[in-house]
Amino acid sequence: MTEQPSLHEELVHLRSEIGRLTDEITGLTKENDVLRSEINFLKRAAEYFYKESLDARR
**pLDDT confidence of 1, banded at 50, 70, 90?**
low
Against a cut of 0.85, is the pTM above it? no
Per-residue pLDDT tens for 9-49? 999 999 999 999 999 999 999 999 999 999 999 999 999 99
Q: What is the dihedral of CA 35, 39, 45, 50, to 10 degrees?
A: 160
Contacts of residue 5, defined as CB under 8 A and 6 or more positions apart, other chains included, come to: 13
